[in-house]
Amino acid sequence: MSNKIANTEFEVIQGDITLLETDAIVNPANTFLMHSGGLALAIVKRGGMIIQQESKKIGNVQTGSAVITTGGNMKTMHVIHAVGPRYKDGKQGEPEKLASAVTNALKVAEVKKLTSIAIPAISSGIFGYPIEESSKIIVDTAVEYFNAKKKAKEETTLTKVVFCLLDESTLKLFKKALDANFKK
């Protein structure tokens, strides 16, 4: 079974997103773009302070939005900083804000004419989003984004979307969400 929509292939892998050679990796950022914990800190440690310096120049970013910096010393060319929501109770617009962060990360990649992007479990770490819910929202949003482009007969530069997860249990949830989209 192929996990493909038009010319865009989807893949779920386990690993360290900071080591990938995709055109961009997504950083689950905070609104201040201060990369002081979690995956954001790991990205700055691997890529160098240039990422934090560029982020400071951008300034604050609204929840649900995404911006781009270079990848510094990493193999990836760019880091797309997607600001997901802090989870409260799931009734404060969290699903919509998480979906918006994913959609905007994909749009930023397309504006830059990138061909590949790696997406982690946005908002599920320090921001406390339950992984069972966030995995489905992240995968469903990405698939819906490319299905809408295909339906509208719009081209995309993105030929590869990789969901990169650190642990086995999160990997299984993302695979389940992706499989559910392609069994329809």
User: Is the CB of residue 140 less than 8 Å from the CB of residue 173?
Assistant: no
Cα gap 121→41, rounded to integer Å = 15
Q: Pick out the chain residues at pLDDT < 70.
A: 1-2, 184
Cα gap 99→14, rounded to integer Å = 22
Q: Is the pTM of this model over 0.85?
A: yes
144 Cβ contact partners less than 8 Å away, ≥ 6 residues apart = none
| pLDDT value of position 2 | 67
| pLDDT value of position 1 | 46
| pLDDT value of position 183 | 84
At the topology level, CATH places domain 4-182 in: Leucine Aminopeptidase, subunit E; domain 1 (3.40.220)
Cα gap 105→129, rounded to integer Å = 18
